[in-house]
Amino acid sequence: MAQIGIGIVGGGYMGKAHAVAMAAVGAVFDTVLRPTLEMICTTSEAGAAEKARQFGFKRSTSDWRKLVEDPAVGAVIIASPQETHHDIALAALGKGKHVLCEKPLGLNAAQSRAMVAAAEQSGCVHMAGFNYIRTPATQLARQIIAQGEIGRITFLRAEHTEDFLADASQPGDWRTQGRANGTMGDLAPHIINAALALGGPITSLVADIATVHQTRGGVTVSNDDQSGLLCRFASGAMGQLFVSRVATGRKMGYAYEVYGTKGSLRFDQEDQNALWLYRAEGPEARRGFTKILTGPLHPDYKAFCLGPGHGTGYQDQIIIEARDFLQAIHEGQPRWPSFRDGLMVDQIIEAGWKSHEGRCWVNIENV
């Protein structure tokens, strides 16, 4: 059985999720390539050592360069802040290491282009970390759309809404400082990735971006709380995207509606094991949305559970992502979403800012 050493940069929320996924993926999917947890990097030696103990890594460091250069590390997972992605990815790719980088790729489209160029020149496998698109329900939605079951898409509405900063009295922290930590840098990449996966390429957009709570605890908020985008897809379909971290009552509002000439789809991540399908067929009096509960007949579900409707969860999305990454390395071919797909998301984010600042429609190809 072939093995590959995994190094993870970052021991926080996503670092732990990736560590757990790599520890479990072999048992869940019986992968040909089996990962070993070689090294983890966090900001301090003591902290890294503690994370290594918790997650089961052989070694630890506070210097990501040591992790990248370690001969036992064959693949690097970047789960550190956005401003670190570019340098770590280029160094890892330069050492011939495969890279899975959390979204978004770089601080801007220019950094992301450099990362794409380095990745494609290296011949290494590269993936961007968009986990929500991998739920069995959304994989099923993509199949339904691709097979033409709801006809030609005419309109797509999607949102990523949460309320972790809805309370205006909540003090500011790192999340309220710097463009990269606002909703366009934090939440928007996920739902833009979903829009591209479901509706295809976006050709143009107009955006409105707002800071709802200007100060928190007497400190000025320097990034955005919510934003809305109107867009056009290459297919001619219209789109509307909304992201917010102040959407009171919403906890994980990764949701979409897709309207086609023969039917439509609805999904909400807060009920992630259900997909709603409407078919425009049969007597009008008998038409209505059908709730499809995911089960073993749907993509990637059976590996986790044999019971229909029992459901998968957040961590399972990361395990599916780990499986895709290992399969791509084993096959020697990039797997969607690659760095180039991540760049497409970053271009749309940059176009959104350009549109907001210029109060105009922006063509994506010009960004």
- pLDDT tens figures, 273-300: 999 999 999 999 999 999 999 999 999 9
Q: Give the residue range(s) of CATH 3.40.50.720 domains in the chain.
A: 2-132
As a dihedral over the C-alpha atoms of residue 233, residue 227, residue 161, residue 295, rounded to 10 degrees, the angle is 10
- Which residues make up the CATH 3.30.360.10 domain(s) of the chain? 136-309+345-358
- On whether the 136-309+345-358 domain is CATH 3.30.360.10, my answer is yes
The neighbouring-strand residues paired with 260 are: 153
pLDDT of res. 61 = 98
pLDDT of 92: 98
pLDDT < 70 regions, the chain = none
* Beta strand segments in 167-237, E: 202-210, 215-216, 219-220, 226-233
Q: What is the pLDDT of residue 1?
A: 72
CB 72 within 8 A of CB 63: no
pTM for the whole structure: 0.96
CATH architecture of 2-132: 3-Layer(aba) Sandwich (3.40)
